[in-house]
Structure 1
Amino acid sequence: MIRGETIVFIGIAAVITGMLLIFIGTAFLSSGKTEGSDNTKVSTGGVVLIGPIPIIFGNDKSMVSIAVLGAIIIMVISYILFYRGSL
């Protein structure tokens, strides 16, 4: 059985890791070549989970498919974590 302190530590570590990845990614993008680079394409996508219902959005077909895959993975992991005692 996983203790509560371990779950809290994992959550805090995930938030800190996410913030560091955002900072590092921003630093890499800002240090890149900005003059005369017209071939830059930005794609966005995301998932909002409201209970069991996912709301998926994006401006590119590939990003939407990645968001769908991510939503499925998140739902399977949450199902395993919440209902593993009744399996």
Structure 2
Amino acid sequence: MTDIMLKDADPVLVDRIKRVADARGWPLPRALLYLLEQGLHVYEGDGSVRFDTKEADVLAAAIAALEGVPDDEGFALIGRAPPPGAD
């Protein structure tokens, strides 16, 4: 495998890469390789974000839970637009 070296990298960028590595428990080279691969996929693709199966399932469960909030005069109306002509 080719060695990857960052020269004159912005310290903020290096810190962000280190935080990803620490959060995932990866050595820094593995984190850098993963981030480069994922960045290339996004750049070469259509730019849309895709969730893996676990993330999609969690998001679907969260949406289902929000849809299950009872329709009342208070909490359930937060963020909802009034029906047309309700003015």
TM-score bucket of the superposed structures, by smaller chain: under 0.3
Q: TM-score, normalised by structure 2?
A: 0.26
More RCO (CA 8 Å, sep 6+):
1
Larger radius of gyration, structure 1 or 2?
A: 2
